[in-house]
Structure 1
Amino acid sequence: MSDFLDIMRQHARLIVLRALAAEPNYSHNDGMLLDIAKSFSVDRGRDFLRNEIRWLENVGAVTVRELGGAWIVTATQRGVDHAERRIVLEGVRRPSAGG
Structure 2
Amino acid sequence: MSFEIDYARIRREEARLIILKALAEQTNESLSSSMLEKVLATYAIHEVRPWVHQQLEYLQTMDAIRVTLAGSVQIATLKDLGHRHLERHIAIEGVKRPSRSED
Normalising by structure 1, report the TM-score.
Answer: 0.91
How large is the Cα RMSD of the aligned pairs?
Answer: 1.6
Shift of 1:8: 0.4
Tell whether the 8 Å contact from 2:65 to 2:79 is kept in structure 1 after alignment. yes
Greater RCO, 1 or 2 (C-alpha within 8 Å, sep 6+): 1
User: Where in structure 2 are the equivalents of 1:58-77 lying within 5 Å?
Assistant: 58-77=61-80
Distance 2:86 2:74 in 1: 20
Distance in 2 (alpha carbons) for counterparts of 1:82 and 1:34: 22
> Equivalent residue for 1:83?
86
Percent identity, aligned pairs only, is: 33
Q: Matched residues in 2 for 1:61 and 1:91: separation?
A: 11
Equivalent pair of 2:37/2:47 in contact (CA under 8 Å): no
Is 1:8 aligned with 2:11? yes
What are the ranges of 5 or more consecutive residues in structure 2 without an aligned counterpart?
A: none
Unaligned runs of 5+ in 1: none
The reply on whether 1:54 has 2:62 as its aligned counterpart is: no
With normalisation by structure 2, the TM-score equals 0.88
Give every structure 1 segment of 4 or more consecutive aligned residues whose post-TM-superposition deviation is greater than 2 Å. none
